[in-house]
Amino acid sequence: MNATSTSRSLLAASLSGLLLTVGAGAASAQESRPREAVISVTGEGEASVAPDMAILTLSVVRNGETAEAALSANNSAMNEVLSALKAEGIADRDIQTSNFSIYPQYRHPEPKDGVSQPPEIVGYEVSNTLTLRIRDLQKLGGLIDSSVKLGVNQGGQIVFTNDDPDATTTEAREAAVADALAKAKTLTEAAGVKLGRVIEINETSFRPMPQPMGRMAMAKEMSADAVPVASGENTYTVTVNVTFALEQ
């Protein structure tokens, strides 16, 4: 090895050692640096608003000796229901088929000589379910009543909700932050320290759980008067977790 190569090797080794020494010194300084004192609190906020929309499910169920007969009867009744809904001003975008099924109906014969007999198909049941968004709650009771008269004979589950709950959620969020700040001030004053800057904040939002009316098996003998409904209020909840620095 010539003198130039030897000099370069010695220089590289020296620089490597220097970097290791600097890195170790920085790590040691970081470890010895005291951790910042902090306080973490949880705040909760709620805001309530009257619902402005209802989600309604209605089903037409028909039976027949054959699948074709049951389907034909179901289609006839459902077409009348759809026509009535549209006549009441329910838009196409607010009407959705949410379930459709065809089931064979079985009869189980008595065992012969102690031997079980295979079930026999005695007919078919066709069910067609609609999910509706009712944006005018004043129409809700009348829609249920008219639908029953036209052939709806199952369903009736109602969930009250809000089309745009952003303003209410914002109100709940502001209340949650105010709650967290109040808790932090109380704790720091009791501890004799000062509340510093916000280091971290995150939130969890909770939309109200659906509060359905009791699901009802409908019959054509229901009262001619509109079905009474009560919508109440929906409560939106926000939880925030806030970490503050402490100034001692």
The span from the CA of 126 to the CA of 174, in Å, is 50
pTM summary value: 0.66
Give the model's pLDDT for residue 169: 94
CATH number at residue 38: 3.30.110.170
For the chain, the average pLDDT equals 83
CATH number at residue 139: 3.30.70.2970
* Residue 16 banded pLDDT, cuts 50, 70, 90: low
Give the model's pLDDT for residue 211: 47
Whether residue 125 is contained in a domain is answered as: yes
Mean pLDDT score, 158-166: 91
Same domain for 200 and 103 = no
Give the model's pLDDT for residue 230: 77
Number of domain units in the chain: 2
Look at residue 229 and tell me whether its pLDDT is greater than 80: no
- Nearest CA to 152 out of 212, 224, 196, 216 is that of 216
Same domain for 70 and 46 = no
Burial of 218 (0-12, 13-18, 19+ CB in 10 A): buried
Q: What percent of the chain has pLDDT over 70?
A: 78
Whether residue 64 is contained in a domain is answered as: yes
Residue that is last in its domain, among 161, 178, 211: 161
Domain with 207 in it: 33-51+163-221+231-248
Whether residue 1 is contained in a domain is answered as: no
Whether residue 10 is contained in a domain is answered as: no
The span from the CA of 173 to the CA of 167, in Å, is 10
Give the model's pLDDT for residue 194: 93
